[in-house]
Chains A and B, each alone.
Chain A
Amino acid sequence: MKTVDPAEKLRIDKYIKDMWHFDPAIPSTDYQYVGQFTGNWIDKIKDLSFNDDSKFDYNRNKQTFADEKLPDDVVSFGNKDREKAVKWGYDNKTKYHQKWNDLPDWCSLMGKASGLKTPAMCINEQLPGSFLPWHVDLFYTYCEQTGREVKLEVMLKMRRYLVFMQDWKWGYYLQVGNNPITNWKAGQIITMPFGMYHLSVNAGTEVRHVMQINGLETEDSLHKFPAREIEINV
């Protein structure tokens, strides 16, 4: 488990509180459409397999920080998101698969094409009836895997791309800030600024796959350019 300077936690928390309006009635644009991966990788999606090693429960596995209790007015840091999710009613409804290892080759090709530095990929499989409640990404796993400190300056350089692995189907729903995202096409990529709240649910009838590409922003990162198509063939 990581330990983080308490003062740094509060600084990150303050940043998150200040960076968005938190008003569901404001028609703000809270995510960015980055582009689309095209190519024959789509034919390989059916070969993905998930086992017990990739089982993940947002509520259960979220206790990354084993340190002191934070003040009640801290909104987002450490175990706070989990505590809130349980209170809202999400206990035992947040199981899904998160596969970091043994990913197919086309995942690394996408990571390379992303223009992010030291990209780390994972694929999430969300079953019907599974929720990922309203939360902020704090990149715990990425920081652990790459030996980085959890500091605001690092967080602000971090970037996560979400790549939809299949066309939208009934009941698939992602929301970033005030923006519902639905009816997507396979390969489409979106991103959001650090600290933006978001949620995801599979309220449909079939499993849903989304890939994360996590890394540090560079001048060549895809979201720095107008949205475009990138062909990935294996």
Chain B
Amino acid sequence: MTLLTDKEYFNKKYWHYDDQLKSTDYQYVGQVLGDWKADQIEFTEDDARWSRGIDFEFSEQHGDRTKNYELKFRHNVEKWGYQRDNTQYYEINKNLPQWCYDVADACGLDNCYVALQKQSPGSVLPWHIDSYRSYMANMETNSAVNVRRYIVFGEAWHWGHFLQVGNNVITQWKKGDVISWDFQVPHLSCCAGILPKYTLKLTGIETKNSLRKKNDKVITI
């Protein structure tokens, strides 16, 4: 595994960091149609995660440089005022229902890591950039720059659900809509509503067969 250099993690050339600039910071990838029901999946407390502060324990596999980035993020989260209560979410990545893998196949990322997330009302995943540390620890890839994340909305938009990628606030999606953004664009996710928000997180290497590269943007599974 080749880790990102510090320059790759901290270089701001990938985005402008000006909240007043009218930029387009994410891409609409397409839509996967199907009759799945994300809100019927059971999550347990064992699946709970949250934006842990500086007490987060790093393992060997995270690598020193990744650790630098992660620490910077975690210090910021604490400084801004976030804690476990308002950042908790749930994620499962094993024994997922078949439709999750079918959706992943339809999206066409190589070496795809699939995880389903549930964000309950009153939760923020604060402003951050993806380090892909877990993906890089488990998959063979030369650099995080080659990694692409697709987000598939598990259910139709409901009140208080939003994602923000760069300066773009994303709402009112349809079930199965897929979005993505370039490496190092900061983003956040929030459920300020009355029902949980479900998203399928796909992480992999994009190829010419990936949904974003295809002309036909709608796939039925």
Contacts and interface: CB of A to CB of B under 8 A. Distances in A.
B74 interface: no
Given A24-B159, A133-B121, A134-B194, A203 B188 contact: yes
A89 interface: yes
B167 interface: yes
A24 B86 contact: no
A154 B160 CA distance: 29
B85 interface: yes
Contact of A88 (B76, B121, B157): B121
Interface string B159-200: 110101001010110000000000000101010111000000
Interface in B189-214: 190, 192-194
Interface stretch (B26-34, B36-44, B122-130, B135-143): B122-130
Contact of B124 (A24, A175, A201): A201
A212 B164 CA distance: 26
Contact of A168 (B19, B190, B193): B19
A10 interface: no
A234 interface: no
Interface in A178-206: 178, 180, 182-183, 197, 199-201, 203-205
A124 B9 CA distance: 36
Contacts of A92: 85
A106 interface: no
Contacts of B172: 27, 178, 180
B120 interface: yes
A170 B162 contact: no
B124 A129 contact: yes
A197 B158 CA distance: 13
A1 interface: no
B190 A201 contact: yes
A140 interface: no
B121 A201 contact: no
Nearest to A92: B85
Contact of B164 (A93, A134, A170): A170
Given A131-B122, A170-B19, A204 B169 contact: no
B169 A182 contact: yes
B127 A173 contact: no
Contacts of B83: 129
B162 A180 contact: yes
B126 A178 contact: no
B148 to A, nearest CB: 23
B76, B121, B167, B172: residue with the most chain A Cβ atoms closer than 10 Å = B121
B19 A90 contact: no
A190 to B, nearest CB: 16
A175 B194 CA distance: 13
A199 B188 contact: no
Nearest to B195: A88
A220 interface: no
Contacts of A24: 156-159
A199 B120 contact: no
A24 B172 CA distance: 8
- 5 nearest CB pairs, A to B: A201-B192, A203-B190, A182-B169, A89-B122, A129-B86
6 contacts: A89-B122, A134-B160, A180-B172, A183-B167, A199-B193, A204-B188
Interface of A: 24-25, 27, 84, 88-90, 92-93, 127-129, 131, 133-134, 167-171, 173, 175, 178, 180, 182-183, 197, 199-201, 203-205
Given A170-B164, A171-B164, A197-B159, 18 more contacts: A25-B157, A27-B172, A88-B122, A93-B85, A129-B86, A129-B126, A131-B86, A131-B192, A133-B121, A133-B194, A134-B159, A169-B19, A171-B124, A173-B164, A175-B160, A175-B192, A201-B192, A203-B190
